[in-house]
Amino acid sequence: GNRVGRGKGYYDRLLAGSRARKVGVAYDFQLVYEIEADPHDVQVDVVITQNNHIVIRKYRH
């Protein structure tokens, strides 16, 4: 559910206070099993690709 960004945390700040469902759109080849993330990074709830609909389960650490 983590995203790779190229900015200054704009979307993380925008999404942090939102209770709306967060949906990421990608191609299948862009998906990876695991990616590094910072504590302030906001995860998406669902990822939709041309062939898949993936619901992200949030784990508490």
Q: What distance in Å separates the CA atoms of residue 20 and residue 37, rounded to the nearest whole number?
A: 21
Domain range annotation of the chain: 10-55
Query: Read out DSSP for the chain?
Result: ------SSSHHHHHHHT--SPPEEE--GGG--S-----TTPPPPSEEE-SS-EEEPPP---
Token pair belonging to 2: 């983590």
Taking the model in full, what pTM does it have?
Answer: 0.77
How far is Cα 55 from Cα 5, in angstroms, rounded to an integer? 20
Question: Which sign, positive or negative, has the C-alpha torsion 38, 26, 6, 23?
Answer: negative
Model confidence pLDDT, tens digit, residues 5-58: 777 888 888 888 899 999 999 999 999 988 888 888 898 999 999 999 999 887
